[in-house]
Amino acid sequence: MSLLIQYKKSGYELSWELGFRHAFFLLLLLFSLAYGSVYSYKLFTKNDLNAHSTPFSQSKQQLAEHKAILEQLQAKTQAELAAIKLKLAELQTKALRVNALGERLADNAKLQKDEFNFALPVAVGGPAEALNDEQMQIEPVQHQLIEEMQSLLNDFNEQERQLSLLESVMLNHNISDQIYISGRPANSGWLSSYYGMRKDPFSGLPAHHKGIDFAGKEGTKVIATGAGVVTWAEQRYGYGKMVEIDHGNGFKTRYGHNKELLVSVGDIVTKGMQIAKMGSTGRSTGPHVHYEILKNGKQIDPLKYVYRKSR
């Protein structure tokens, strides 16, 4: 068996006669070329499609990542706003307590309402200033919170001013001699422990005693050693039932371990007035009054004040 190939053009004629073996290899070569062409076309087409689809896939992935970041930012912002709202509520509660204390002090001092009226809004003013574009872009909720917090800050500043004036007025109401701290914190009993280093009654180790103790019978009258305003009248860690009195000019006195308290926060007490009944509440081994004097927030030795003469 053989394969005859003829070529004729312009009077020329060429012919080839291939045997079976050569014809088989020729057909195999042509088939391989045809198959390679088809495969290359498919591969090129597939790569071309992949090349066009890659940017779309990347954009979709980036969009998902941005969405996740935005969701995290939103959750963080909501948590921060919730914390701000909680702090704002706490400030509002404290503002109400300060208002109540101021009104009570003004009533006790018999001052005119138009001078110290804590119930009325704070009087403020000033020229208006237009907000710039950057300020106008603040989110409404955040802008509202900022305004409320600034309003509270203004209230506190005004209340601090009024309370300072109130203290000055009270001092001028013939009680300047009353705030002079002197005498014993109990009308009976004996001095059972001094100020300074001592052996702790519970641990047995050396410890600094920040006041002096007057022991006595349970129920003995505990009296104020100077006139002032009650700033604490309840349980306190280590002190048991305690009374703290602010005498102005940086001086405070504390009376601890009481059985019963007879005054409340905001009360104005006079020198020698009974404020509690002696007891053994808190960290105590028996009925006594733990007496402290603080000057500018630091405890000092009360002994010299106990023995100095009244004015």
Asked if 274 and 265 touch (Cβ cutoff 8 Å), the reply is no
pLDDT digit string, tens, across residues 35-61: 666 666 666 565 555 555 555 566 667
Packing angle, helices 20-108 and 140-171, rounded to 10: 20
Q: Are strands 2-9 and 12-19 parallel, antiparallel or unpaired?
A: antiparallel
Q: How is residue 107 written in tokens?
A: 């009533």
CATH topology of domain 190-307: Glucose Permease (Domain IIA) (2.70.70)
Helix/strand/coil percent split, the chain, to 5? 40, 25, 30
pLDDT digit string, tens, across residues 256-275: 999 999 999 989 899 999 99
pLDDT digit string, tens, across residues 128-139: 555 555 544 545
Residue ranges of the chain with pLDDT lower than 70? 1-60, 94, 97-98, 100-146, 152-153, 155-178, 310-311
Non-local (6+) Cβ contacts of 90 within 8 A are none
Q: Are strands 240-248 and 251-261 parallel, antiparallel or unpaired?
A: antiparallel
